[in-house]
Amino acid sequence: MAKIIDGKKISQEIKDEIKAEIERDGIKACLAVIIAGSDPASQVYVKNKKTACEYCGIRSLSYELPEDTKEDELLALIKKLNEDPEVDGILVQLPVPEHIDEDRIIEAIDPAKDVDGFSRRSVGALSIGSNGFVSCTPAGIIELLKRSGIEMEGKECVVMGRSNIVGKPMAMLMLRENATVTVVHSRTRHIEDICRRADILIVAIGKPRMITHDYVKDGAVIIDVGIHRLDPGKNGGRKLCGDVDYEDVEPLASYITPVPGGVGPMTIAMLMKNVLKSAKEK
Ligand code: GUN
């Protein structure tokens, strides 16, 4: 039976630590959140980010822009927030509407306020091991592992998926922790054999329940980044699942993250941590 890594509990601990530090040291921190358009999932994420700010004692500024916002208007808003000394972090919720160039938007954010850690400067800093903002989901996974007492040094870690937001920074962070890292993706051959070598298997491939016991070594640590909404009729009443077939894999694993309540809540906790870091470094 695997030990369940409780991301909800650990993320709450982190938010409580941030709240306590802000209160104790009288820190003033402020996050500007921008959303363009009305994508329902993005609206939920943004609402959760604002709620977390309020909980931690971080001021949040909210910019809800229409779907037809022009790229120049969005760039002008980012410029204004870059120049505002009160603002410590700027977050543009992705995806942006199709007519807007996502890369230009990310690069317009002052690197000192890039609390998502998506800009070239932040990603470059991570890859050479210098100080910078780290993408929140992979940073949250490192916290989950550390706070669960899971050793990374010298371990075989397989990262499934190579996105800029999760897979690639995840591999960099595991290297920083002295793990031996392999990244597998949709074109990888013999993927199951490679995954079965993993002491720590981090799955971010975006396919519901793809990872079965065939991919998992006895005693492996399983981290599931995926989150999918399933038709409850086909799924015994459970509405959410991850990239991992939890029931099939759990008996083999030593530790496993559930979905929901595993990796998901950590992303926002780490965002709060990045805003606090920015405020302290100002
Ligand atoms: N869209 C999905 N995840 C994220 C995230 O972590 N940050 C931003 N800005 N947009 C997202």
Ordered by start, the domain boundaries in the chain are 11-134+266-281, 136-262
Task: Please tell me the residue having the least CA distance from ligand 1 atom 8.
Answer: 93
Q: Judge whether 259 and 5 are in contact, CB under 8 Å.
A: no
Q: What is the pLDDT of residue 170?
A: 98
Please give all residues whose beta carbon lies within 6 A of any atom in ligand 1, as ranges: 91-94, 116, 136, 267
pLDDT at 230 (0 to 100): 82
Residues pairing with 157 in the sheet: 181, 200
Query: According to the model, what pLDDT value does residue 234 have?
Result: 58
The number of the ligand 1 atom at minimal distance from the alpha carbon of 116 is 7
Counting ligand 1 atoms within 8 A of each CB, the residue from 94, 103, 266, 270 with the most, and so the one to mutate, is 94
pLDDT at 110: 98
pLDDT averages per 10-residue partition of the chain, 282 residues: 97 98 98 96 96 98 98 98 98 97 98 98 96 98 98 98 97 98 98 98 98 98 95 67 98 98 98 98 94
Could you give the residue numbers annotated as active site? 49, 93, 116
For the beta sheet containing 3-4, the strands, ordered from the edge strand earlier in sequence to the opposite edge, are: 3-4, 255-256, 221-224, 200-203, 156-160, 180-184
Q: What is the pLDDT of residue 233?
A: 61
Could you identify the residue written with the tokens 């010298």? 154
Superfamily covering domain 11-134+266-281: Leucine Dehydrogenase, chain A, domain 1 (3.40.50.10860)
Q: Which of 131, 133, 205, 123 is CA-nearest to residue 172?
A: 123
The CATH architecture assigned to 136-262 reads 3-Layer(aba) Sandwich (3.40)
